Amino acid sequence: MLGFNAYAGFFEICSPKKGKYVFASAASGVIGQLVGQLAKLHGCYVVGSAGTSQKNKLGFNEDFNCKEELDLDAALKRYFQQGIDIYFDNVGGDMLDAALPNMRIHGRIALCGAVSQFGLSKPHGIHNLFNLIIKSAKMEGFAQHNYLHLYPRFLEYVIGYYKQGKIVYIEDMNEGLESALAAFVGLFSRKNVGKQVIHVASE
């Protein structure tokens, strides 16, 4: 169902068109992985950010490690010199705030998650919302249960491309049940690349 989040948010909220500039945060996660690949298949220019160095295993045009960037606004200006048409937000916080002034006119932001705010007693405020006004941009949150009527279409679309090898996925595999706690804790510090999986036994 995480993959369905990516499909519904990208096609229903972002209204993508060929040639648009797409930014996906948390691009090493299940949703970010698929959003970027859907955008590439749709003929978009794609940049992904993550808390790890992906070495562009997913075929994006560019990717960067957000933990290595001291100035997120400057990083986005470097990767999107023409601005961002579509931002698929999975992290919220500082990344969302940096994306807002880098949006293009009539840009679209899909709010899917806010992982950077998990566990905070006082979530970070967003300071650059005025950019939505001056750029006539749209920012919208969504929940997958509002789009369940699209699920059969999603399965047909993704399975078709997966069988052709045009959609791939990355898993972070840990061996043994004893590794489960460390793997779980690692989710909150973004140590995993892809879906976190625990291989309990071969039989």
Question: What tens digit of pLDDT does each residue of 44-94 get?
Answer: 999 999 887 665 678 899 999 998 999 999 999 999 999 999 999 999 999
**Residue range 99-154, pLDDT digits in tens:** 999 999 999 999 999 888 888 888 888 999 999 999 999 999 999 999 999 999 99
More confident residue, 160 or 169: 160
Q: Is the pLDDT at 17 greater than 90, yes or no?
A: yes
**CA atoms of 180 and 54, how far apart (whole Å):** 23
Look at the domain 2-150+155-162 and name its fold. Answer: Rossmann fold (3.40.50)
Q: Where in the chain is the domain with CATH 3.40.50.720?
A: 2-150+155-162
High-pLDDT (> 70) share of the chain, %: 88
Q: Which residues share a beta bridge with 50? A: 65
pLDDT at residue 194, rounded to an integer: 62
